[in-house]
Amino acid sequence: MKQLIISIEQFRITLRLFERAIERMNQSNCCLGINIPQCHTIMEIGLAEALSVNELAEKMILDKSTVSRQVEKLVQEGIIDRIPSPKDRRRVHISLTSKGKQIYKTMNDSMNEQFQTAFQKISKKDLAIFLQVFHQITRSLP
């Protein structure tokens, strides 16, 4: 049992270091006066291409009102478009504008490059194991 407690503490220490590294990466990749929550919003929309505010809130694990405020700011900045559903006028999809797509591409390419550099230092076998375990831990957390 003591061994497990030490392992948990070591994991949490390493996780804090990882979180700080990710935060530094996020700060360096968010550009043009866009804050980190807005960057996360742009990344989720860019991955999905188009989705509703409710779907975006679910993906981001945030309440709809928080996401709606982020979306509104990004609409005003010309980064996101609202597109009424042709089938149901009550439903609105959001997607990236040309400007938003360029920001998404710049951020995504930069993050991919940074992770690719980090992953080159790890064997493919170890990386596969890490990703599998990391995924399992992520899914196990509340």
pLDDT of residue 26: 79
Residue 119 counted as domain residue: no
pLDDT of residue 28: 77
Confidence (pTM) = 0.80
Domain count, the chain: 1
* CATH code, domain carrying 85: 1.10.10.10
| One-letter identity of residue 70 | Q
* Distance separating alpha carbons of residues 31 and 103, to the nearest angstrom: 8
Residue 128 counted as domain residue: no
Residue 86 counted as domain residue: yes
For the chain, the C-alpha Rg in angstroms (whole number) is: 18
* Distance separating alpha carbons of residues 26 and 37, to the nearest angstrom: 10
Structural contact between residues 53 and 67, judged by C-beta atoms closer than 8 angstroms: yes
pLDDT of residue 123: 94
Question: Distances from the Cα of 42 to the Cαs of 19, 102, 125, 135, in angstroms?
Answer: 20, 10, 32, 23
Residue 4 counted as domain residue: no
* Distance separating alpha carbons of residues 36 and 61, to the nearest angstrom: 15
Residue 59 counted as domain residue: yes
Residue 69 counted as domain residue: yes
* Distance separating alpha carbons of residues 78 and 30, to the nearest angstrom: 16
Residue 88 counted as domain residue: yes
Domain that holds residue 97: 31-112
Mean pLDDT by 10 residues, the chain (142 residues): 75 89 80 81 92 93 93 95 84 93 91 91 94 91 84
Residue 24 counted as domain residue: no
